[in-house]
Structure 1
Amino acid sequence: MMTKDTLVASHNDALSTLSTLGGVGFDALERFGALNIDLCRSTLADNAKLFSGISTAADPKALFSLTLGTIEPALVRTVGYLRACYGIASEAGESVNLLLAPKYAAINKDLDKAIDSLSASAPVGGEVIATALKSAVTATHSAIEDAAKTTRKVVEMTESNINKATDAAVKATAKATKKVA
């Protein structure tokens, strides 16, 4: 039964959770901002070097070689940036999951108690309804857990494949630029 104290405690818990979620979000935004500033800074520095080299290039071959030399570092920087973005998003997701998983478990526990209470106070035949509700809840939890496990496996496989593909692309680009130069 919901009392004034349980309602106040529930609201306080919800506000605390919301505040923590906001903190996780702002932390991720701060890290994304710092990452973007670092990327801009390094890109501007590389471009300044490139323009300086272009202005001193003596012949077209030197100019061509100079521009080819910028491809690999730019690709490496882009891959690093994307990996860092993924890392920040992944860590934020894990933080949210760590915060909400106990609350989800508590809600499920309260739901089980409510179903038991319904079963105890229901007229004859109420046990059948309560059993059906428990079965539906259990099946739902099982489906959610299976989906989460499958999603984690797919994410791990995708991460692995993306890492292999990007590493191969960087190596191929480096090899191609060395051949052309």
Structure 2
Amino acid sequence: MMTIDHIVTAHKKNVATAFDLSEKALAGVEKLVELNLQTAKTLLAETAEQTQAALSVKDMQDLVALHNAMLQPMGEKIASYSRHVYDIASALSAEFAKVAEAQAAEAQKQFVSALDSAVKNAPQGTEPAVAAMKTAVSTAAAAMESVQKAVKQATELAEANLKAVATTAANATKPPRAAKA
């Protein structure tokens, strides 16, 4: 049977979890802000260099060469930035998933405990209904675990595809190699 102490304890745990998740979310935002600040600083410095280089161009051939030299690393930089953002988001998502899994396991444990307590006070003959309820809870937990595994596999596949796309994009911006004679 749930007592006021059980309710207060559960509430305290939930509040602590909420604050923990808030701290993790803020840490993720902080990492994104740092990444964006560093990206902005780098972009500003590179733009200044490129502007100076463009102002010193004397003919069209130099301009085309400068243009190609500027474009080539752009794809790599965009892919790198995207990977960093993805890594930050993935780490944060993994932290949230871990907390959600722990909360679900704890809720299941408490439900089974409450069910066991209720059985002790239940009239004779309710054992089959309780057993059916416990089986349903176990089946639901197994289904949840299967879904979590499928989501993890899908996430890993998405990560592999993202890396492949980023590599392809970076390679597409590289100038073609000259044929050897």
Q: Which runs of 5+ in 1 are unaligned?
A: none
Report how far residue 177 of structure 1 moved. 9.0
Deviations 1:58-100 (A, max 9, x none): 1112112212212222211111111111111111122223334
Alignment of 1:28-177 (within 5 A): 28-176=28-176
Partner-residue secondary structure (3-state), 1:67: helix
* Structure with a larger share of its residues in helix: 1
Q: Which has the higher contact order (CA 8 A, sep 6+)?
A: 2
Are the structure 2 counterparts of residues 50 and 38 from structure 1 closer, same or farther at C-alpha, using a change threshold of 3 Å?
A: same
CA contact (8 A) 1:69 1:177 kept: no
Are the structure 2 counterparts of residues 167 and 156 from structure 1 closer, same or farther at C-alpha, using a change threshold of 3 Å?
A: same
CA contact (8 A) 2:28 2:92 kept: yes
Paired with 1:145 and 1:106, the residues of 2 have a C-alpha distance of 14
What is the percent sequence identity of the aligned residues? 26
RMSD between aligned residues:
2.1
Alignment length, in residue pairs? 179
CA contact (8 A) 1:50 1:67 kept: no
Q: Specify the alignment match of 1:24 in structure 2.
A: 24
Are the structure 2 counterparts of residues 7 and 117 from structure 1 closer, same or farther at C-alpha, using a change threshold of 3 Å?
A: closer
Tell me the TM-score normalised to structure 1 length.
0.88
CA contact (8 A) 2:74 2:173 kept: no
Moved more, 67-76 or 145-154: 67-76
Tell me the TM-score normalised to structure 2 length.
0.88
Paired with 2:162 and 2:10, the residues of 1 have a C-alpha distance of 43
